Amino acid sequence: MKQNIHEYLAELEDIPGTRIYTAARARKGYWINQFAMSLMKGDNRERFKANERAYLDEWKISEEAKQALLARDYNTLLDLGGNVYFLSKLFSTDGLSFAEAVSTMTEYSFPEYRDMMLKGGRSPEGNRSIKGGY
């Protein structure tokens, strides 16, 4: 059953519209995620809200990632190694529900996204594999 790590990791990149949180992403996004984690403390949330840029400047985060955080550009943050469970601390700091924040990563507005979910969600059909197209 043991799988070759290179083959295993290559497969994980073959899913459309998805960034699996691999070790490579975890390393790249370490400080993005640790910054987000710091927002679990009320005092930090207040300091961040008072001056987002100044709070971000306390962290070893690239300028690109800081811009993405300020813009709440979650797809770019996933590319830069952010993980949704860490980024969710920023959702709640902004007072957004998980579903609303998640909808911003899709092609839909929040009401459209909610409607899609009520109708059974996004179909896996055609969404399983980039290479295979199934």
Is residue 68 within 8 A of residue 76, CB to CB? The reply is yes
Q: Using CA atoms, how far apart are residues 83 and 36, in angstroms rounded to an integer? A: 10
Give least dist CB 111 to other proteins, A.
13
Quote the tokens at residue 27: 């390393």
Question: Could you say which of 4, 6, 121, 133 contacts other proteins (CB under 8 A)?
Answer: 121
Give least dist CB 109 to other proteins, A.
13
Quote the tokens at residue 32: 């993005």
* CB atoms closer than 10 angstroms to residue 15: 13
Give least dist CB 77 to other proteins, A.
10
Quote the tokens at residue 116: 């899609």
Q: Which of residues 79-98 bind other proteins (CB under 8 A)?
A: 83-86, 88-89, 91-93, 97-98
Burial 28-59 (b: 16+ CB within 10 A, else e): bbeebbebbebbeeeebbebbeeeeeebbeee
Total residues contacting other proteins by CB under 8 A comes to 59
Question: Could you say which of 33, 55, 56, 65 contacts other proteins (CB under 8 A)?
Answer: 33
Q: What residue ranges bind other proteins (CB under 8 A)? A: 1, 3, 5, 8-9, 11-12, 15-23, 26, 30, 33-34, 36-37, 39-40, 42, 45, 74-75, 78, 83-86, 88-89, 91-93, 97-99, 102-103, 105-108, 113, 116-118, 120-124, 127-129
